[in-house]
Structure 1
Amino acid sequence: MKNSFFSLLVVGFLGLSAQQVFALGCSTYTSGANLGPVSSFNVPSLGTQIMSGGLACDVLFNAVSTQYIKYMPLNVPATLKHEDGVNSARIIIRDTQNNILTTGIEKDLSQFNLISIFGGPDKSIPFTITVNESTNLKPGIYSGSLKIKWYYYVAAVGIGGINLWTYKSPGITWWPVVGLTDWGSGVDSEVPIKLIVEKDCKINAQNINFGTAPLVSKFNPVTGTVQITCSAQTPYTVGLSNGQNYSQNRRMKNLSSNHYLPYEIYKNTTTQRWGYLGAERWSSANASQNPGVYDGSVTQGYAYTAKIIDDGGNASVEGTYKDNLILEVAF
């Protein structure tokens, strides 16, 4: 709903030298990338977000120690699918060197320092994700997943070239002096990605000014148009409140006394009252301009006619009369 208001650890060193590493463990896991919620109009403002690459190692200290890490992307999604199964949002996933991940193209990270590469969420190897959309996306939940195979051999403690404790993926083989002889079968990881886009509207509603007249009967009707742009593929209705002084009709109150001037606001040039309940609401399918167009960029116009009601019983007390209305959009 959219409203518009207008006026008429402390860290210990555990006895390890600066040339040693202590690691609590490595694992693949499914900590997901959650983007948003974000207004459909502001999706580009998400920019580039950091996400987990699917492998995390809890390493306490930066040190010289044996490590071999590489990955093979099994499926890198180019889009996230909307929950309706039809719409989609384009995405780009990059590694820490800003290279776009490509399915089937492996990358060896063995030359990087342990601490520097495990800087992502939950001490994971980080990737980045960008929603590559500048247009207005349909609101809802978009989802997908990055599937990737990790190969890793991380030594927890390395002394004189001997690894006292290691964390490794299935089948990977390392020997002192010889080094790595087999990368093994690796371990698969799947990182879920979710983007939440929210419904939103932009409203342009100008004040209504009846001007000045010597008698109530001399005020002329005032016409205007409320302009509304809402999220793509999002029908809506527009309601107009009864104001602050309602009694049988909308009324403006004299700012200096307790006198009122009744008035009404009608749809287009008709006598159909524009209100906030039931049939008095205005459907976007029946807008004055661009009815039923829901592409997220086209503006609907709602033309109205405002009239002061002269029933002959209104005291012509001079002064400035005012009322405040709330224009409300409901999805």
Structure 2
Amino acid sequence: MRLITLFAVCLFALLLPGSARAACSLASNASASLGTAGSYAVKAGQVAQTSAQSGLTCTGAVLSVLSTNYARASASSTNGFRLRADSSDTIAYRLSADPGGTFSFNQGATVDYFDPTLISLLGLLDKTDFAPPIYVNLTDMPNIAAGTYTDIVTIQWSWRICGGVGVGGVCILTYTGSGSTTLRITLVVTSDCRIDTPDVRFGSAPLVNGFVPVTQAARVDCTKGSLFTVAFSSGQNGTARPWRTMTDGAGNRLNYNLYRPDGITIWDETNPLADPRPGTGGTTPSLLQTFVARIDASQPTPPPGSYSDVVTLLISF
């Protein structure tokens, strides 16, 4: 009887591979960041997909499509799979186990990462470590205010994974478990603007006092709900006071300036104008920024030619 007992112990030791030390654990929380994007980029669907670790990690496991292996996950969202900001605006998103969204969690589905198609798609087959990814992709293109948009997702897990294979491919060591992990999803949306600035044309005249003032408007719109100020740069001459300057490319100069609608107050970076109208997020700008352009009639008339300058409209939040 003593010899039989020793033989049985030795046989068991031979069947258990020394490399089979599989263990699975859940992170208490994980995060997925969609980065930072302007509100118009969100509206145009230009926010790139992101991925993160889903919270489950197994090491030393034999990853195969054995019928006994599974790692099942289901997800519940605080905001119904929508990112939400303090403004109460929301952005819908898809949470999935694969980049293409075939294995989606959004409709309450349970996803098994050992599904033959999924495990092959993710390139996890025959690996010895298992850290399944999760993908976040915006599915909405709303007109939204700036802010930090978040959602909290709870992922429920259950798993049964082979940790060692003996003679004949029989699993001799199985690891099972269940639990949950929390995933925080974040997108920072920044203020942005759309601007339409038509050229200002004074026309032609033989003398500087022949140019009449031009009243014109730039069109602006900015992120929904944003307050902003408007100014014009000093132009290529680098100064707006007392005059901005147009040149003919040969060193000759023609003084002019841009003024607020009153036609008196110089409108430049040192004197921006706050627009009392909040942005609407409109793609086609419609908020008029009226200004007056006037050539200095007291300056000596420069040589005939075509004079020009480039001025930038500046928006500040």
TM-score, normalising length from structure 1? 0.73
How far, CA to CA, are the matches of 1:203 and 1:85 in structure 2? Answer: 24
Is residue 283 of structure 1 aligned with residue 285 of structure 2? no
Is residue 301 of structure 1 aligned with residue 295 of structure 2? no
How far, CA to CA, are the matches of 2:268 and 2:190 in structure 1? Answer: 26
Q: Work out which of the residue numbers 65, 88, 91 in structure 2 matches 1:89.
A: 91
Is residue 324 of structure 1 aligned with residue 313 of structure 2? no
Q: Work out which of the residue numbers 142, 158, 165 in structure 2 matches 1:158.
A: 165
Superposed, which structure 2 residues align to 1:181-192 within 5 Å? 186-192=178-184
How far, CA to CA, are the matches of 2:38 and 2:198 in structure 1? Answer: 24
Deviations, residues 190-221 of structure 1 (Å, cap 9, x unaligned): 11111121221122112222221111111122
Superposed, which structure 2 residues align to 1:54-203 within 5 Å? 54-58=55-59, 63=64, 65=66, 66-75=68-77, 77-82=80-85, 84=86, 86-96=88-98, 98=102, 100-101=104-105, 106-108=110-112, 111-112=115-116, 115-116=119-120, 124-159=131-166, 160=168, 162-169=170-177, 186-203=178-195
The offset of 1:301, in angstroms, is: 1.4
Change (3 A) 1:300 1:24: farther
Is residue 215 of structure 1 aligned with residue 215 of structure 2? no
| 1:15 alignment partner in structure 2 | none
The offset of 1:237, in angstroms, is: 0.6
Q: Work out which of the residue numbers 240, 245, 259 in structure 2 matches 1:266.
A: 259
Superposed, which structure 2 residues align to 1:229-244 within 5 Å? 229-244=221-236
Change (3 A) 1:283 1:134: same
Given that residues 215 and 293 in structure 2 are in contact (C-alpha distance below 8 angstroms), is that contact kept between their aligned partners in structure 1?
yes
Deviations, residues 228-282 of structure 1 (Å, cap 9, x unaligned): 121112111111122233352212234223x3222111223532221112xx212
TM-score, normalising length from structure 2? 0.76
Given that residues 205 and 227 in structure 1 are in contact (C-alpha distance below 8 angstroms), is that contact kept between their aligned partners in structure 2?
yes
Secondary structure of the corresponding residue to residue 225 of structure 2: coil
Gaps of 5+ in 2: 1-18
Matched residue type, 2:212: N
Change (3 A) 1:64 1:107: closer
| 1:250 alignment partner in structure 2 | 244
The offset of 1:307, in angstroms, is: 0.7
Given that residues 57 and 118 in structure 1 are in contact (C-alpha distance below 8 angstroms), is that contact kept between their aligned partners in structure 2?
no
How far, CA to CA, are the matches of 1:207 and 1:105 in structure 2? Answer: 56
Given that residues 56 and 118 in structure 1 are in contact (C-alpha distance below 8 angstroms), is that contact kept between their aligned partners in structure 2?
no
Change (3 A) 1:34 1:207: same
Higher strand share: 1
The offset of 1:309, in angstroms, is: 1.2
Secondary structure of the corresponding residue to residue 32 of structure 1: strand
Given that residues 256 and 293 in structure 2 are in contact (C-alpha distance below 8 angstroms), is that contact kept between their aligned partners in structure 1?
yes
Given that residues 140 and 196 in structure 1 are in contact (C-alpha distance below 8 angstroms), is that contact kept between their aligned partners in structure 2?
yes
How far, CA to CA, are the matches of 2:291 and 2:47 in structure 1? Answer: 37
The offset of 1:55, in angstroms, is: 2.4
Given that residues 59 and 114 in structure 1 are in contact (C-alpha distance below 8 angstroms), is that contact kept between their aligned partners in structure 2?
no
Secondary structure of the corresponding residue to residue 325 of structure 1: coil
Secondary structure of the corresponding residue to residue 283 of structure 1: strand
How far, CA to CA, are the matches of 2:267 and 2:154 in structure 1? Answer: 53
Given that residues 89 and 131 in structure 1 are in contact (C-alpha distance below 8 angstroms), is that contact kept between their aligned partners in structure 2?
yes
How far, CA to CA, are the matches of 2:170 and 2:55 in structure 1? Answer: 28
Identify the range of structure 1 (135-144 vs 58-67) with the bigger mean alpha-carbon deviation: 58-67
Secondary structure of the corresponding residue to residue 268 of structure 2: coil
Identify the range of structure 1 (151-160 vs 43-52) with the bigger mean alpha-carbon deviation: 43-52
Is residue 41 of structure 1 aligned with residue 40 of structure 2? yes
Given that residues 61 and 130 in structure 2 are in contact (C-alpha distance below 8 angstroms), is that contact kept between their aligned partners in structure 1?
no
Given that residues 61 and 163 in structure 2 are in contact (C-alpha distance below 8 angstroms), is that contact kept between their aligned partners in structure 1?
no
How far, CA to CA, are the matches of 2:207 and 2:255 in structure 1? Answer: 14
Deviations, residues 65-101 of structure 1 (Å, cap 9, x unaligned): 441322343446322221x363332223244463542
How far, CA to CA, are the matches of 1:92 and 1:112 in structure 2? Answer: 22
How far, CA to CA, are the matches of 1:123 and 1:38 in structure 2? Answer: 32
Matched residue type, 1:40: S
How far, CA to CA, are the matches of 2:120 and 2:60 in structure 1? Answer: 10
Gaps of 5+ in 1: 1-20, 170-185, 286-291
Given that residues 62 and 114 in structure 1 are in contact (C-alpha distance below 8 angstroms), is that contact kept between their aligned partners in structure 2?
no
